Amino acid sequence: MVRDFEQYSAWRQGVVNALRNYQTWVAEAALTDAATEQRIVRTLTRLEDDKLSVAFVAEFSRGKSELINAIFFADYGQRILPSAAGRTTMCPTELLWDGSLAPSIRLLPIETRADNLSTSDYRDQPAAWTVLPLNLDEGADMHEAFKQVSKTRQVPVEEAKRYGLYDEDDPDLAVTLDENGMVEISLWRHAIINFPHPLLKQGLVILDTPGLNAIGTEPELTLNLIPNAHAVLFILAADTGVTKSDIEVWRNHIGNGAGRLVVLNKIDSMWDELRGEDDVNAEIERQQANVAHVLSLEPRQVFPVSAQKALVGKINHDVELQARSRLHALEAALFNELIPAKKDIVRKQLGEELQALNTAQLAMLNARTRGIVEQLHELRSLRGKNQSVVAHMMRRIDVEKREFDASLFKLQATRAVFTRLSTELYTCMGMDIVRDDIDLVRDEMQRSRFFIGVRDAVRGYFERTRANLDAAEHKTIEITEMMGVMYRRFSSEHGLTLALPMPFSLERYRDELDSIEAIYSKTFGTATLLTTSRVVLMEKFFDTIASRVRGCFKSANNDAEAWLKVIMAPLEAQIRQHKDQLKHRLASIQRIHDATDSLEQKIDAFERGQQELEAQKARLNELAGAISIAINAEFVALDAAA
C-alpha cells in the first residue's frame, strides 16, 4: 500500500516538477500574463492539495474501527483506534495529515449542531474546535487520546431534539432513555485526527463513521463526506449478514458505484475446530453469495475477512493467520480501485489545462514570428531601392498604424459591453444572491413548522438556485459570442492569428447541485416523515445543503473570474504585440531612410530573431511534451505493478 501511494505521489510530483519548469521558462521568455500565471498556479495548487479519501461505513459492532487498524495501523504494534464490543466511534472521524499543524485531535463540540452552520463551515473557524495534542512517542497516550471519539454524555430530551438527535415518534429511540428520562448523545460532533502516518502523508484521508443511524442524522456524512469519497467500504458482519438497515443505507447512500466495496467481516466467528476447513470455507462462500444476491452484486465484489485476526497476524508476524484472515485480497482490491480511478480524474484535468496553456503560448510565439517575417519581407524588398521607395513604405506603415489605432476605439466599446455583461453575470451567481436566498429559506422554515412547508421551501430554493445558474450560463454565452465577433474582426482586418475564445460552462456546477438535491430527496422525499422532530433534523440538513451550495457557487465564481481574465487576455496580448511591431517597423524604416542603420545589419538582426523564436517554439513544445510524458508515464508503471 505504501509503495502504491509512494508511486502515485512520485507521479504527481513528476507532473508538478514538469509544470514548474514550464512556468519558469515561459516567464523568462516573456510569454506569460496574469491569466496564464493564474491558470498555472491553480493547477499546481490542485496537484499539491490532492487527496484520496476512503470512507468506512457500518452499523456499530461490525468491526469497522478494527478493520481500519488492520489495514492502516498494524505497523504500530497495537490498536490505534478504539475497538471493543458496542459503539466505539460516536462521531464522524477523519484521519489525515496536515504538515502545517502539530499532531493532534481536533474535536468539534456537539453543541454546534444548534447553530446554522455545517461542519464544513466550522473548518475555517479554529476557535470552535477543542484541540488535544498527540504524544507520538507514547502509544498508550495516543490510544487514550483517540478514545475521545467514543465519549458521550446524557442530556434532556429537549436538548437532544434541538440538535436533531432525538425523534420522539421513533419507538427505537424511546427505549434508549435512562431512568431519569435522559438521552445519551456523542460529546463531539466531528473529530479530525492529524497523524503523521506514511499513507496519510501521501494524501490519504480515512473517514470512520458512526453507526448507520448517524448516516440519516449527520448531514455532513450524507451530503458531503460519503458521496465525495473516492472509495467506500461497506462493512457487514458474517454472522448477521444483511439487515434491513444495511439495505436501506446501501440503496439510499452508498449504492453500487465506482469505488464501492462490500466487506463481510468477522469470518473468524464461523471458524470451527470441530469442522473441516473445506466445510468452513463452503459456509463462508454461501454467506458471501447470499450477501451479494441481496445487494445485487457479484460474489467477487464481496470480500470475506477477519479484521481482528488480520491485525493480530500482522502484529505477531503470523503469515498463516494473515492468509486465513483474507485481508490481502481486500487491500489489493481497495488500492487497485482507488489509485487508478483518482489518477484518471487528475490526468483528464491536467490534459485539458496543458492543451489550453500550450495553445495560448504558441499563439503568442506565432504572432511574434509573423511580425518578424513581415518586417523581413519589407526590409528585403528595400534592397537596391532609392529613398523615395523607403519614404513610401514609411507612409504606408504609418497609415496602417493609424488604422489600427482607430480600431482600438471599437475595442474600448467592446470592453464597456464586456464589463456590463460581466457585472450581470456576477449578479446572477454572486455570493450576495446566494446569501440572501439562504436567509429567505430559513425565514420560510421558521414560519412553517410543518414538514410539507419546510420541504416546499427547500424545493423552491433548489429551483431558484438552478435558475440563477441558468441565467449565468446565458450571460457566459453572450460574452463568448461577443468576444468571438471581436476576435474575428481583428483577425480579418489586421491579420492577427487568434483562435476563437474558450467557451465556459457551468454544467459541472449544475451536476453538483443535482447530486445534492438527489441526496436530499432520498432523505426527505417520503410522505411518512411528517413529524415535528424531522423538521428540526431537516433544518440541520439544510445547514449542510446551504454550505455545499455556497461552496459550489464560490468555486463557480472563481472559475468565472479566471475565465473572464483569460478570454480577453490573448486578444489584448496580441494587440499590444501588434502595436509594438508597427511602431518598431516604422522606427526601423525611418532609421534606414535616415541612413543611420545599415539595411543588411537590420536584416541580419531580424533573421537572428526569427531563429531565436523558432528555438523558443521548439523549447516550448519540449517542455509541454515533458508535462505530457509526466502525466502518462507513471500510469504504465503503476498498472504494471498492479
This prediction has a pTM of: 0.71
Q: Give pLDDT, residue 635.
A: 45
What pLDDT, in 10s, does the model give residues 289-323? 999 999 888 888 899 999 999 999 999 999 999 99
| Higher-scoring residue by pLDDT: 372, 465 | 465
Q: Give pLDDT, residue 528.
A: 38
| Higher-scoring residue by pLDDT: 535, 205 | 205
- CA neighbor of 231 nearest in space, from 99, 372, 351, 53: 53
Give every CB contact of residue 245 below 8 A, 6+ residues apart in sequence.
Answer: 59, 212, 213
Q: Give pLDDT, residue 636.
A: 42
Residue 175, CA distances (Å) to 18, 88, 170, 172, 179 in order: 62, 20, 9, 6, 10
Among residues of the chain, what percentage have pLDDT more than 90? Answer: 17
The mean pLDDT of the chain is 80
| Higher-scoring residue by pLDDT: 288, 46 | 288
Q: Is the pLDDT of residue 428 over 80?
A: yes
Q: Which residue has the cell 453500487?
A: 256
- CA neighbor of 306 nearest in space, from 267, 272, 359, 273: 267
DSSP state of 233: E
- At 371, list the grid cell: 511580425
Q: Is the pLDDT of residue 85 over 70?
A: no
The DSSP bridge partners found for residue 132 are 105
Q: How confident is the model at residue 62 (pLDDT cuts 50, 70, 90)?
A: confident
What pLDDT, in 10s, does the model give residues 146-176? 888 888 889 998 888 888 777 776 666 666 7
If 0-12 CB within 10 Å is exposed, 13-18 middle and 19+ buried, where does residue 560 land? buried
Q: How confident is the model at residue 103 (pLDDT cuts 50, 70, 90)?
A: very high
If 0-12 CB within 10 Å is exposed, 13-18 middle and 19+ buried, where does residue 209 land? buried
Q: How confident is the model at residue 493 (pLDDT cuts 50, 70, 90)?
A: low
Torsion of CA 251, 253, 257, 261, to 10 degrees: -90
CB atoms within 10 A of CB 285: 12
Give every CB contact of residue 85 below 8 A, 6+ residues apart in sequence.
Answer: 61
Cα–Cα distance, 439 to 454 (Å, whole number): 14
| Higher-scoring residue by pLDDT: 303, 453 | 303
What pLDDT, in 10s, does the model give residues 174-222? 667 888 888 888 899 999 999 988 888 888 899 988 876 666 567 777 7
Residue 69, phi then psi, degrees to nearest 5: -60, -45
- At 151, list the grid cell: 465519549
Listed ranges 336-345, 476-485, 515-524; the one with the highest mean pLDDT: 476-485
